[in-house]
């Protein structure tokens, strides 16, 4: 499999992976936002997604940063309507 070396494609892949994590774990996302424990509750899912992402994206693109930004954009920002003490 060819490694992704285009930053826009890498960002799309990260968002797709994290959208799946959010879609299949809606209760964990909601509970995690409400209690500020989202990273603990989704630890395994986020790590599995990260490993998949890293296996597909060139290291030259700084994939850890891209994946981290996508976590915030997809999991955190989209959950802004959920009541939480963190905002």
pTM score: 0.90
In a domain, 50, yes or no: yes
pLDDT value at position 84? 67
| Calpha distance 73→81 (Å, rounded) | 14
The count of domains in the chain is 1
In a domain, 24, yes or no: yes
For residue 51, give its domain range.
7-79
In a domain, 1, yes or no: no
CB distance 56 to 2 below 8 Å: no
In a domain, 84, yes or no: no
In a domain, 26, yes or no: yes
In a domain, 57, yes or no: yes
Residues with pLDDT less than 50, the chain: none
């Amino acid at each position: 499999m060819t490694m992704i070396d285009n930053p826009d494609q890498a960002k799309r892949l990260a968002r797709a992976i994290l959208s799946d994590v959010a879609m299949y774990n809606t209760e964990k996302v909601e509970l995690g936002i409400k209690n500020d424990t989202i990273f603990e509750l989704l630890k395994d899912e986020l790590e599995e997604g990260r490993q998949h992402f890293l296996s597909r994206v060139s290291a030259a693109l700084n994939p850890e940063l891209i994946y981290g930004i996508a976590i915030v954009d997809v999991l955190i920002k989209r959950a802004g309507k959920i009541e939480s003490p963190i905002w």
